[in-house]
Structure 1
Amino acid sequence: MAHQASRAYKLQLSDAGMQLFLNDHCRLCHLVGDLLSYGSTLFVAVHLLHLCPGGEMANALLDPELHQLGGRKIRHVGTSRILSDLVHSIAAEIETAGVIYSSPQVWKIFLAALLHMRDAEDAHILRSYHVMLDKIKSPIRN
């Protein structure tokens, strides 16, 4: 059986969460100057959060705004399987930080990442986009 290079990730969004995702996506497309997949936006957002220290990641999951972003709109976004490694790493860092005592739900990590991307500097977003391209081209590198 062939190794799959991508998979779908589940987002659980409210109307506000949908708007946040679309705003982040449009911003990334404008910065890159191209039409991009929704998966690119999710990957860049998660990568940006992954770069934060564990305590900062945990605080992102405790942001009160997060509760307004999750909802009943289920969307599946396709991107690289490498995203799973980033998500597992974020969850492990958060548990190690000791601020949140149970492993966070993946959809909450996605929402925290999208919030973090909203507040990130353009240069950081572009750097994460280029890292994503490198990782997808050569998934063996870390």
Structure 2
Amino acid sequence: MGKLPQYFIVDAEALPEIFLKVAEAKRLLETGEAGTVNQAARKVGISRSAFYKYKDAVRPFNDMLNGRIVTFQILLKNEPGVLSAVLNIFALSGANILTINQGIPAGGGAAVSIGAETSGLAMTMEELLAQVAREKGVVRCEILAG
């Protein structure tokens, strides 16, 4: 039985530059901006061998979650309309909400767990999280599981 891979979520700014360049080269290939690995590698300033060495190990977070069920944990102020505004952001983003679980408010806040299918997102996962976090009455928004 082989060793199971371990995965980490790491802020892109903390990654070595080679990983960011490999991710960009993969994006160029997927969008057709580069027709070959050689073209993509040259555009981002890496060797083909570096691309092949890391191509299967590097994926943007949004790609990893695309088409998957993701659980969002959101802490809301206990104010009328806050949950409704958050749900509206999800609807406008193209996420398909599958479950909503809100705890009883305590200490002026309520924890809400939202399970959503993300294949229809019209924005990146990061943009969705940022929009929710900016909404009046939202204390915190994060991905709990995906």
Which TM-score band applies after superposition, normalised by the shorter structure? under 0.3
Name the structure, 1 or 2, with higher relative contact order (CA <8 Å, separation 6+). Answer: 1
Higher helix content, 1 or 2: 1
Relative to the length of structure 2, the TM-score reads 0.24
Higher strand content, 1 or 2: 2
**Structure showing greater Rg:** 2
